[in-house]
A and B are shown apart, each in its own frame.
Chain A
C-alpha cells in the first residue's frame, strides 16, 4: 500500500513539470504585449522598453524559462505585473474562497447525486425514476450563467431572501453552491443509477439472495459499495474541475475567487499570475486524483494488492 502511494505521488511530478513548461511557452506564443498593456496605449516607446527591461521580458526566452524554473523550486511564483505583489500572496488570499465553494458544491452534489441515483435505480421504470431522469437531463443541459441569473432574479430581486452577489455570510454561499453543483448532481445521479443497476445483476448479488440476505435494503447497501466505485472517480474529477474551473460561477456571482482572478489576469497579460494560477489548478487536480486513487484502493481490495 505504501509503495502504491509513493508510486502515485511520483507520477504526479512529471505531470506538473509538463504543465509548467507548456503554460510558460504557450504564453510566449500568444499575441499581446504585457509591457505595452501596463504602460498604457499613450505611453512613449521608451517607457514601454523601460517596463519590458524591468520585467525581464527583454531577455531570451530560454533564459526566462530557466530563471522561472529556478524561482519555482524556491517556492517563488514571481510578482504580479499589475498589482506588483507576489503571486503567492495574490493566490493565497483568494484560494480559500474558491476552495470552500468547491467543497460545499461537491458535498452537495455527492449527497444529492447518490441519493437521487439510488431512488432512480430502486424505482426503475416507475414515476420516480422518470422524474429524476428528467431533472438530471435539465441539470446537465442548463447553462450555469443562465441558472445563476434566474436564481438571482427570483431569490434576490423578487423575494429578497439572498444577497445577489459577493462573499461573506452563509447566505452568500447558497446560490453559487447550487449553480456550481447542478451539473455534478445530475452527472453523479446518472452514474449512480446505471452503476447500481449493473451491479444488481452481478452473480454475487444473486449469491447473496440465495443466502437469504434480507432483500431490498441490505441488498442495496451491499451492492452500493460496489456500485459507488466508478462514482468516486466522477466525484474526484468534478471536484478538480470546481477548484480550477469555477470561472463562470465566480464571475456571475462576483465571487472573489481564483476563477475571477484568472479572467482578470489573462485580460491584463499578467503572465506570472496566470502561470501561478494554472500551476495551482494543475496541482489541485493532481492531488484530487491521487486522493481518489487512494480511496479507490481502500474500497477495492483488488487494486490494493496489485
Chain B
C-alpha cells in the first residue's frame, strides 16, 4: 500500500461572484522514501494541492471533493484535533520563504522545540538536547550557541536548514516541501537539495517536492507530476519525462530550458500565459495555448491514460481513435 494516495482531489475558492477551481480533480500516489516532484507554472494549483494535503487551506478555500489516504486513514474525515496530531508528527511541511516562515521574535531553538512540545510531553532539557541534535543533523555548526539566536541572525540557506530540522523533528513519514529552494542562491539550492536527498536516505521519509524549476526536478526527484490549471497533465518517472515528454505542455516546459549542447537561435517558449483558474477553457484545459491543438480538444477533456510504464498523460494525441470517429 502506498504511503499517500490522493484521489480526485478538488479544492475550490469561493469568491463573491465566482468559484476558482484551484485544484480540480488531482490523483496521485506516493511511496515510502520516494521523492515525487509536482511541477507547474505559478497558478497551476501545486501549492494549493500541498496545502490541501495538510488541510491548511484557508477561507475562502475549501476541499470540496476527493480523498487523501495517508498511512491508511482518510485525512478529509479526521477531526481538527486528529489532524493537528498528524501535522508536524507524521507529515510536515516547509515553505518557500524561510525568512518570513519563522517567527522573528522567538529564538530558533524555541521554534524547533515547539514541534516536539506540541506532540510529546518532554522535559525542557530533553527538548534542548534533541533540538541540538536536529540542528547538527541539518548541518548547522555551533548548535549549542545558535540555539538561542533569532531568525534574522541566520542566512536564507541556514534558515531553510532550520525549517527542515523543524519539519523532521519527529521523524514524519512525509515531508512536503513547497518551493524550498526558490528563494535561495543557486549554490545554496544544491546544498539544500542534497540535504533533502540525504535525509530521505537516512530516515526513509517520502518527500513531496513542489517546484516550478525543471532543474530542481531533474536533480532531486524519482517521479514527476506535471500540473496545469489545477489538473495533472502528465506523470512519469523522472528519466522518462525528460527523455520522452508526451504532453505538449511538458514539451513546452522542457523546450523553454536552454541547452548547453545544442545551439539554438530561438528559445522555444509556450505561447500565451496561464489563464486564471476561474476561466478554464472547455475541453482540454491547455487547448488555447497548445501548438498541436485539434478539433476534439475544444470539446472533450482528455482523461489521464497510460502510455508506458508508470507514464500517464492527458492528451488526445495519444488516445485511441475510437473517440474521434463519433
Contacts and interface: CB of A to CB of B under 8 A. Distances in A.
A204 B103 CA distance: 5
A207 interface: yes
A226 B100 CA distance: 13
Interface in B194-224: none
Contacts of A214: 84, 118
A226 B87 CA distance: 23
Which of A214, A225, A300, A301 has the largest number of chain B CB atoms within 10 A? A301
Contact of A215 (B54, B84, B97, B153): B84
B85 interface: yes
Contacts of B54: 210
B101 to A, nearest CB: 5
Nearest to A211: B88
A208 interface: yes
Given A210-B87, A301-B152, A204 B101 contact: yes
Contacts of A302: 104-105, 150, 152
Which of A203, A208, A210 has the largest number of chain B CB atoms within 10 A? A210
B85 A300 contact: no
Q: Give the dominant DSSP class at A's interface.
A: helix
A212 B86 contact: yes
A10 B324 CA distance: 84
Contacts of A211: 87-88, 92, 114-115, 118, 166
A226 B151 CA distance: 14
B102 A226 contact: no
B288 to A, nearest CB: 34
Interface string B98-112: 001111111000010
Interface band, chain B:
20 to 34
A207 B102 contact: yes
Given A211-B87, A225-B105, A204 B100 contact: yes
Contacts of A207: 95, 101-103, 111, 163, 166
Interface string A242-269: 0000000000000000000000000000
B276 to A, nearest CB: 22
A214 B87 CA distance: 10
Contacts of B56: 206, 209-210
A212 B100 contact: no
B93 interface: yes
B119 interface: yes
A301 B163 CA distance: 19
A138 B80 CA distance: 38
Contacts of A202: 100
A305 B92 contact: no
B247 interface: no
A137 B85 CA distance: 41
B326 to A, nearest CB: 48
B84 A222 contact: no
Interface string A274-306: 000000000000000000000000011110010
Which of B86, B105, B106, B163 has the largest number of chain A CB atoms within 10 A? B105
B10 interface: no
Interface in B240-289: none
A299 B92 CA distance: 29
B131 to A, nearest CB: 13
B88 A210 contact: yes
Given A207-B95, A300-B105, 15 more contacts: A202-B100, A204-B104, A210-B93, A211-B118, A212-B87, A213-B88, A213-B118, A215-B80, A215-B84, A222-B106, A226-B103, A226-B104, A229-B105, A300-B104, A301-B152
24 contacts: A203-B97, A203-B100, A204-B103, A206-B56, A207-B95, A207-B101, A207-B102, A207-B163, A207-B166, A209-B87, A210-B93, A211-B92, A211-B114, A212-B85, A212-B115, A212-B118, A213-B88, A215-B84, A222-B106, A301-B105, A301-B152, A302-B150, A302-B152, A305-B150
Interface of A: 202-204, 206-215, 222, 225-226, 229, 299-302, 305
Interface of B: 54, 56, 80, 84-89, 92-93, 95, 97, 100-106, 111, 114-115, 118-119, 150, 152-153, 163, 166-167
Q: 4 closest A-B pairs (Cβ-Cβ)? A: A212-B88, A212-B87, A211-B88, A203-B100
